[in-house]
Amino acid sequence: MGNFEFKKKFGQNFLTDKNLLEKIVLEAGVTKDDTVVEIGAGKGALTEMLSKHAKKVYAFEIDSELFDYLAQKFAGSNVRLLFEDVTKVSDKWLNEIVGGKFKLVANLPYYITSPILTRFLKNPNLISLTVMVQEEVADRIIAKPKTKDYGVLTIMCGLFGSAQKVMNVNRKMFYPVPNVDSAVVKIDRFKTQTNLNEDFINFVKQAFSMRRKKLSSNILGKGISKEEIEQILVKMGYGESARAEELSIDDFKKLYTLICDKNIKIN
Ligand code: SAM
C-alpha cells in the first residue's frame, strides 16, 4: 500500500484519527446488535471501528487497488467486503445480501452524496444513516423554511426521517485535505412508511425550479389554474404570491394532496 495514489474521481479523502472515528460510530448508535452498511471502505479506518462495535459490517469499495489490502486486513473478521460500485447494485440485491434491518454509516464519496441519500432513505430496511458530507450539504439537509439552504434535499430527507447535524469536521482531519469543511449528519428513518411517491418529489423539484418565482407559477401543469393554486395557498395561511421556500414539509404534503384531489377544503 506504500505508493497508493489517491483518486479524486472516487472522492478519496481518508480519515485516520481514531477519536473522530469512534465518535462517529458512537453518534451512529452502533451496538453489537446492529448490522451496518458502509459505502467506501477506503483503507478501512472507519470499517475497523465499525467492526469493533457492530455485529456485522458490509463494506462497499469500488477501487480495485484497495481490494487485496482490505481483504487481508479483514480476513476472518465480521466484515464482509463488497467490491462493487454501490450505484450499480440493486436494492433487491443489497437487501438479500444484508438480510434484514441495517444502519448506514459512511464517510461518503462526495460526488454521489445526494443519490445515495435519496436511495437509501427509501429503503424500508434502513434504520438510520450517519454520514460525513460536505458542510454545505449538511446545512441543506437540516435547513429550516425561509432560509436559502431550504430546498429539495431538505424536503426529500425530511419526508423519510428526522435529520440532525451531529458534528462539524475540519477539512484538516482528512488526507488528502479537501477544499471544504465537512459535517456528520444523522437521519433516523421514520418507522411508518410515507405513501408519497416519485410524483411528489417531482412536484417539490418543480416548486423549487425557480426559487425567486411564485410557487403558483412554478407548479402549473397539474390540471389546475394559477388562481386555484393561489386560493389554496391563501386558505392554507400563505400569501397568494408565496414562494416554495416558505412552506414546511407538512404543508408541501398538504398542498400536493389538495392539488391532486382538487379537494380544496382546508380544515
Ligand atoms: N471510509 C474511508 C475513510 O473514512 O477513510 C474512505 C472514505 S472516502 C471519502 C470514500 C471511499 O468511497 C473511497 O475509498 C472510494 O474509493 C469509495 N467509493 C467511491 N465511489 C464509490 C462507489 N460508487 N461505490 C463504492 N465505493 C466507492
User: What confidence tens digit (pLDDT) does each residue in 216-267 have?
Assistant: 989 877 677 889 899 999 999 999 999 999 999 999 999 998 888 764 444 4
Q: What percent of the chain has pLDDT over 70?
A: 96
- Span 8-189 CATH architecture: 3-Layer(aba) Sandwich (3.40)
Rounded to an integer, the average pLDDT of 167-192 is: 96
Centroid of ligand 1 to alpha carbon of 202 (angstroms): 29
Q: In the prediction, which pLDDT does 150 show?
A: 97
Q: Please name the residue whose Cα sits nearest to atom 2 of ligand 1.
A: 42
* Residue 74 dihedral angles phi and psi, to the nearest 5°: -110, 15
Place of cell 394532496: 257
Write out the H or E segment, with its range, that includes residue 39.
Answer: strand 35-39
| Greater pLDDT, 265 or 137 | 137
Task: Report domain 198-260's class.
Answer: mainly alpha
In 128-225, which ranges are continuous DSSP H helix? 135-141, 152-160, 198-207, 215-218
Q: Which residue has the higher pLDDT, 191 or 246?
A: 246
Residue ranges covered by each domain of the chain: 8-189, 198-260
Q: How far apart are CA 59 and CA 50, in angstroms?
A: 10
- Rounded to 5, what percent of the chain is helix, strand, coil? 45, 20, 40
What are the tens digits of pLDDT across the range 30-80?
Answer: 999 999 999 999 999 999 999 999 999 999 999 999 999 999 999 999 999
Nearest CA to ligand 1 atom 14: 42
- Predicted local confidence at residue 265, as pLDDT: 45
Mean pLDDT of the residues in the chain = 93
Q: How does residue 184 score in pLDDT terms, banded at 50, 70 and 90? A: very high
Per-residue pLDDT tens digits for 141-167: 999 999 999 999 999 999 999 999 999
Give the confidence band of 192 by pLDDT, cuts at 50, 70, 90: confident
Ligand 1 atom, smallest distance to 13 CA: 9
Best CA proximity match to 64, nearest among 46, 83, 45: 83
Ligand 1 is surrounded, with C-beta below 6 A, by: 10-15, 39-42, 45-46, 60-63, 85-87, 107, 109, 112
pLDDT digits (tens, 9 = 90+) for 76-117: 999 999 999 999 999 999 999 999 999 999 999 999 999 999
What is the mean pLDDT of the segment spanning 171-192?
96
Looking at ligand 1, which residue's alpha carbon is closest to its atom 23? 85
* Alpha-carbon gap, residue 120 to 185, rounded angstroms: 14
